[in-house]
Amino acid sequence: MQQEPIQILLAEDDEDDRLFFKKAFNDIKIKTNVRFVNDGVELMNHLTQSSSQLPHILFLDLNMPRKNGLECLVEIKRMTHLKHIAIAIYSTSSSDKDIEETFVQGANIYIKKPSDFTVLKQILEEVVKVNWQYQTSGLNRDTYLLSL
Amino acid sequence: MNLYLKFDSGIAFKKIIQEQMDKLNIKYAYIGFAEIEIDDAISSARLNEINTSLCNYGIEIVENQKNILVQKIKDTIIEMVYMDDKLPTSNSYYISDKLKQRYSYISSVFSEVTYTSIENFIILQKIERAKQLISANQVTFTEIAYMLNYSSIAHFSTQFKGVTGITPSTFQRILTKRRKNNLDLK
């Protein structure tokens, strides 16, 4: 049923975390194509270049040097051509206040960074599955909120 | 200002097909329920052209019967979840009655093609409807729970949190704050 791989972009400054994500995406059933940027500045450059292929889902680390995840989120949500990208914020914080604030700023998904690889894999699989429903079943993106 | 729109997807669908097929200069007949008839002698390159122009609208050519059945199941579920009245008490009876097929068959085809179960898809759609109702802000959570056939508001809240990770009240608060933010920006 699935034809094209789901395009994933990950903004993360930590190399170990990048490898973790890469490996987790390789292990899940749904086909994905994962690319990386190292920080927020690089991310914004990438997204505003007209030649770049835009991702279906953007994973944003909240703590990045130069420009953090929240700043990127706010900028992206103000740009018309980027508004439709599903944005998944992930962070070590699990405070309800932080979670609510990122949603208010326009994030679609909030992921509490797990320390366990198997848990990460389950979470990413869930995110990709839910997002696929949004891509194929015409669900409303304005009310797309998911906390994991 | 936010406008809440209602629309008829059937009419929109027919119009899109008509415009795209006219553009490609292909003669067709509309048979109904997402089915059209075209000349058998059409080349696969032309079929590809049709597919490419339709996929911009989220429409794709489904070749096999199973995919068609799955689409019918999805449409039936969406129709069921968006009924003005209270939802039917038995989902499986409603669906198999509408599609005139055994539920066990319907359910196994659905899981095979979509990697998810009918039950999960219904839950997803019910929560989607609940989100829409919360967003429109005209009915209480108790009324939503009743309309969508939950035994209690607690049952509704638990399932809402199970699917979205947040409670209905948090969801409502986030939407309200987002709207306020957007107004402040303008």
B131-140 pLDDT, tens digit per residue, is: 999 999 889 9
- For residue B40, name the pLDDT band (cuts at 50, 70, 90): low
Q: Where are the domains of chain B?
A: 9-61, 66-185
- For residue B147, name the pLDDT band (cuts at 50, 70, 90): very high
Give the model confidence (pLDDT) of A21-44 as tens digits.
999 999 888 889 999 999 999 999
Q: For position A102, what pLDDT does the model report?
A: 93
Q: For position B84, what pLDDT does the model report?
A: 77
Superfamily of domain A6-147: Response regulator (3.40.50.2300)
What tokens appear for B28 in the block? 């067709």
What tokens appear for B161 in the block? 């949190």
What tokens appear for A83 in the block? 């508004």
Return the amino acid letter for B102: R
Say what the alpha-carbon torsion angle B148, B153, B157, B163 is, to the nearest 10 degrees. Answer: -20
A142's CB contacts (< 8 A; 6+ apart) are: B135
The mean pLDDT value of chain A amounts to 89
Give the model confidence (pLDDT) of B111-138 as tens digits.
988 878 999 999 999 999 999 999 998 8
A133's CB contacts (< 8 A; 6+ apart) are: A139, B124
For residue B78, give the chain A residue with the closest CA.
A137
B164 with A146: Cβ contact below 8 A: yes
- For residue A1, name the pLDDT band (cuts at 50, 70, 90): very low
Can you tell me the mean pLDDT for A60-77? Answer: 90
Greater confidence, A79 or B66? A79
Q: Where are the domains of chain A?
A: 6-147
- For residue A124, name the pLDDT band (cuts at 50, 70, 90): very high
- Write out chain A residues lying below 8 Å of B74, CB-based: 137
Give the model confidence (pLDDT) of B64-99 as tens digits.
678 788 889 999 999 999 987 788 888 899 999 999
Q: For position A141, what pLDDT does the model report?
A: 84
pTM, two decimal places: 0.75
Name every residue in A having a CB less than 8 A away from some CB of B. 1, 29-30, 78, 96, 99-100, 103-106, 110, 129, 133, 136-140, 142-143, 145-148
| pLDDT at residue B153 is higher than 90 | yes
Task: Kindly state whether B66 is in contact with chain A, defined as any CB-CB distance less than 8 angstroms.
Answer: no
DSSP SS3 for A74: helix
> Rounded to a whole number, what is the distance in Å from the CA of A20 to chain B's nearest CA?
23
In contact, B76 and B97? CB cutoff 8 Å: no
Phi/psi of residue B159, each to 5°? -70, -35
Q: For position B63, what pLDDT does the model report?
A: 64
Closest CA to A42 of A8, A10, A77, A80: A10
Give the model confidence (pLDDT) of B7-28 as tens digits.
887 888 888 989 999 998 888 8
A131's CB contacts (< 8 A; 6+ apart) are: A6, A56, A57, A86
CATH fold for the domain made of B66-185: Arc Repressor Mutant, subunit A (1.10.10)
A140 with B115: Cβ contact below 8 A: no
A104 with B178: Cβ contact below 8 A: yes
Q: Which helix (H) or strand (E) holds A36?
A: strand A32-37
| pLDDT at residue A74 is higher than 70 | yes
A147 with B115: Cβ contact below 8 A: no
